[in-house]
Amino acid sequence: MEEVKNAGIYIRVSTEDQAREGFSLGEQEEKLKKLCELKDYNIYKIYKDAGISAKDMEHRPAFQQMLADMRAGKINYIVGYKLDRVTRSVRDLEVLISELEKHNCYLVCDRDDVNTSTANGRFFIRMLTNLSQLEIETVSERTKFGLTGAIKNGHIPGKCPLGYKRDETKKMIIDETTKDIVIRIFNMYLEGKSYQTISNILNKEKVLSPKRWCDKTIEKMLCNLIYIGDYERYKIVGKQEGKIPIIYENVVEPIISRELFEEVKKQKEINQRAYCRDRVYLFMQKLLCPKCGKIMTCKGSGGKKKKYMYYHCEDCRIYYREDKVEEMVMPIIMDLIEYDMTVKNYFYPVLADKKEKDTKKLDKEISSLENQKNRIKEAYVKGIVEVEDFSKDYKEIEGKLAILERKRLEIIDTNKQTFSPQALMADRDVAKEKMIRSNQFKSMLMADWNSKTKEEKQEFISKFIESIILEKDEKGYFYLEKLNFRKSFMKELVKLFENGIFEIPFPCTKGKEEITVPTTVAMDKKELKEYMDRLNEYYEVSYYEIMRPDEPKKGYQKKYFTIDTVNDNGEKLFKLVELVCDDKRFPAQKENRIVGEIRVKEREKAG
């Protein structure tokens, strides 16, 4: 009995193949129909996969349908144009040959003279597929190598995230019109706001309207490494193993510091363990149990007249009342309020991002937007665009221009400021001394704290403090055992220190009373003169050398000393300063060898 030859014609093209001569679906179908007619095959069905790669069999619907018909006995010949139209995977080919043998089906390819009904044919098909697999892997390696080079040069694939845009070379650069939105979102989350709260605020303020913000958008932004200058892509490993991340570091200019990004990441882990609450707790997620180290849970009690907030550890049964905790850390809070005011009023030029040395970059962006605006005007006048589209695009460009113009003025103002660390410190010290002498300094700091809402207090604490550990003594009174500041705050302090603006309290005595006196970082003679000249504009200032180090054989050592706060001349000890000087006897050693004191008289100069 003659064998019935029911054939399934399989044709496939990928996106690239569609542009090649002789690989279109129509041409493949026409040639394979002629082949079936020549070989006397009965065409059961034509299976088409358009725009699909041959790297695997699972993701080709028509191919899978053809295999199902083969298993059902509906076809016993698979006819293809070329072997690489059927598969380019050695592993998939082995599976296919096994399936063909199992169901008495054969593979015939027109252009490769393939026929699996013989042993030689099966050997030949394996050799052809090995060559196809080699081609795939070679092209893949070249593509990955080219992609890696492009990424390292700032040419990041895909859509630009918020805060970035592409320049004329398609390189990803910072978008000055949206950069501040990104920074604000990171800071809001660090202050304790949830994804949903942040999105609600942005929607209420109509930020980037008509865009609608949602919690998922905020979450994705806070996890995106691009904001610290890194790019993350994933490598597929097998079908079940999942994806392996590949990190390219420092490929674009960062918007967020790595310290801030890490703190947000840590805050996210803490928030995942938090509960939703209808009350605001000042130290939420800040108090750690002194015994087990876990974050203490927030709890409220009391009726309508008086309510108490508690922090407790259920495992160790430790409770702290919130008002008592606030009282305990209030001295530190006062110092932080003073720091915050000082930075805003005096030290902003030191901590400000000074990467922009001039306005050339912003001028170029403004010019580009002005050109866009003119083109839109021209298109509207010529009737190319409708009034609705014109108004929408024009308004968007106007908004971006306003932001860039404001930033340009800020840079110009900052560049105009001629400041030195010594001048900034002197201005700060004069203002502080005036407040102290009028007995308003502490009350001013307390008034600032009391004027804040509870939400604002919580955000302020979260901005500076990472964690707090309290302990109880034998009498049941608790005390501050340990307080950790956030890394971003510590980075600011380091920057101030590096710029010569930093103070530490130095222990002194007034009779039997122990006091502390501010001590600056070391100054040279020129810097000290500048600082004192600035002070002298408001006070009568004197400087005394009060200590020289010992001179043992091994080098210089400092002595501890005791001084009174007011001397016989009625001068008040204002500050201690270490003077940097070169000792000719020890030219190789440039150390702080002189400690002096700066004193001011109680009365101010007239005028």
Report whether pLDDT(459) > 70.
Answer: yes
Residue 231 shares a structural domain with residue 260: yes
Residue type, 476: G
Q: Give me the amino acid identity at 379.
A: A
**What is the Cα 590 distance to its own chain's centre?**
40
Residue 316 lies in a domain: no
65 domain-assigned:
yes
Q: Is residue 573 part of a domain?
A: yes
**What's the mean pLDDT when you consider all of the chain?**
76
Q: Flag whether 341 is in a domain.
A: no
Residues 172 and 131 in one domain: no
For residue 560, the model assigns a pLDDT of 37
Average pLDDT over residues 586-598: 52
pLDDT band, residue 589 (cuts 50/70/90): very low
Band (419; pLDDT cuts 50, 70, 90) = low
List the 106-109 sheet strands across, edge first. 42-50, 6-13, 77-80, 106-109, 114-115
Same domain, 547 and 561: yes
pLDDT at position 315 = 87
Q: Which of 14, 24, 89, 467 is catalytic?
A: 14
- Residue 166: which pLDDT band, with cuts at 50, 70 and 90? confident
At residue 132's C-alpha, the angle toward residues 126 and 136, to 5°, is: 140
- pTM value is 0.52
Segment 31-40, tens digit of pLDDT: 899 889 888 8
Range from 93-102, 232-241, 417-426, 566-575 that averages highest in pLDDT: 93-102
| Per-residue model confidence as pLDDT tens digits over 324-380 | 889 889 989 998 988 888 877 777 667 665 554 566 777 777 888 878 877 877 777
Assigned domain for 372 exists? yes
Residues 10 and 134 in one domain: yes
Task: Count up the domains in the chain and report the number.
Answer: 4
Q: Which residues form the domain of 45?
A: 6-147
CATH of the domain at 126: 3.40.50.1390
Q: Looking at 272, 297, 328, which one is the last position of a domain? A: 272
In angstroms, the CA 88 to CA 60 distance is 13
Are the C-beta atoms of 11 and 32 separated by less than 8 Å? yes
Residue finishing a domain among 129, 147, 165: 147
3-state secondary structure of 278: coil
Distant-in-sequence, close-in-space partners of 344: CB < 8 Å, separation ≥ 6: none
Per-residue DSSP letter, 194 = -
- DSSP-derived secondary structure for 379-436: HHHTTSS-HHHHHHHHHHHHHHHHHHHHHHHHHHHHHH----HHHHHHHHHHHHHHHH
Helix axes 525-536, 421-437, angle to 10 degrees: 40
Per-residue pLDDT band at 109 (split at 50, 70, 90): confident
pLDDT digits (tens, 9 = 90+) for 264-295: 887 776 665 544 455 788 888 889 998 898 88
pLDDT for 136: 61
Residue 61 lies in a domain: yes
Q: How far from each other are the two terminal CA atoms of the chain, in whole angstroms?
A: 124
Whether 488 is catalytic is no
d(CA 53, CA 42): 28
Q: Are 118 and 89 members of one domain?
A: yes
pLDDT category of residue 568 using cuts at 50, 70 and 90: low
Cβ–Cβ under 8 Å, residues 516 and 507: yes
Beta-bridge mates of residue 396: none
Residue 225 DSSP code:
G
- Same domain? For 439 and 574 the reply is yes
Residues 119-137: tens digit of each pLDDT = 777 777 767 666 666 666 6
Q: With CA atoms as reference, report the closest residue to 67 among 122, 10, 132, 130.
A: 10
- pLDDT at residue number 383: 72
Say what the pLDDT of residue 9 is.
93
Percent of the chain scoring above 70 in pLDDT:
75
Alpha-carbon distance of 133 to 128, in angstroms, equals 9
Same domain, 404 and 385: yes
Question: What is the pLDDT at residue 436?
Answer: 79
In the three-class reduction of DSSP (H, G, I as helix; E, B as strand; rest coil), residue 314 is classed as coil
Asked whether residue 470 is assigned to any structural domain, the reply reads: no
Q: Which of 156-165, 225-234, 236-245, 424-433 has the lowest mean pLDDT?
A: 236-245
AA letter at 81: Y
Instruction: Return d(Cα 77, Cα 138) in angstroms, integer.
Output: 32
Q: Which of 531, 336, 334 is nearest to 428 (CA)?
A: 531
Round to whole Å and give the CA distance between 442 and 430: 16
Q: Are residues 204 and 139 both part of a single domain?
A: no
Is residue 26 located within the same domain as residue 168? Answer: no
Contact 251, 151 (CB under 8 A): yes
Do residues 322 and 309 lie in contact, with contact meaning Cβ atoms separated by under 8 Å?
A: yes
Highest mean pLDDT among 183-187, 304-308, 582-586: 183-187
Pairing between β-strand 106-109 and β-strand 77-80 as defined by DSSP bridges: parallel
Question: Angle at the Cα of 231 (from 228 to 232), degrees rounded to 5?
Answer: 120
Pairwise CA distance, residues 397 & 394, whole Å: 5
562 has a pLDDT exceeding 70: no
Q: pLDDT value at position 582?
A: 54
Is 318 within the bounds of a domain?
A: no
Q: Find out whether the peptide bond into 210 is cis, omega within 30 degrees of 0.
A: yes
The enclosing domain of 212 has a CATH number of: 3.90.1750.20
pLDDT of 244 > 80? The answer is no
Which tokens in the block code for residue 2? 């003659």
Band the pLDDT of 418: cuts 50, 70, 90: low
Does one domain contain both 24 and 111?
yes
* DSSP code per residue over 480-493: EEEEEE-HHHHHHH
Provide the strand spans (E) within 124-252. 164-166, 172-174, 231-236, 243-248
96 and 234 belong to one structural domain: no
Placement of tokens 């991002």 in the chain? 353
531 and 430, same domain (yes or no): yes
Of 115, 147, 179, the domain-final residue: 147
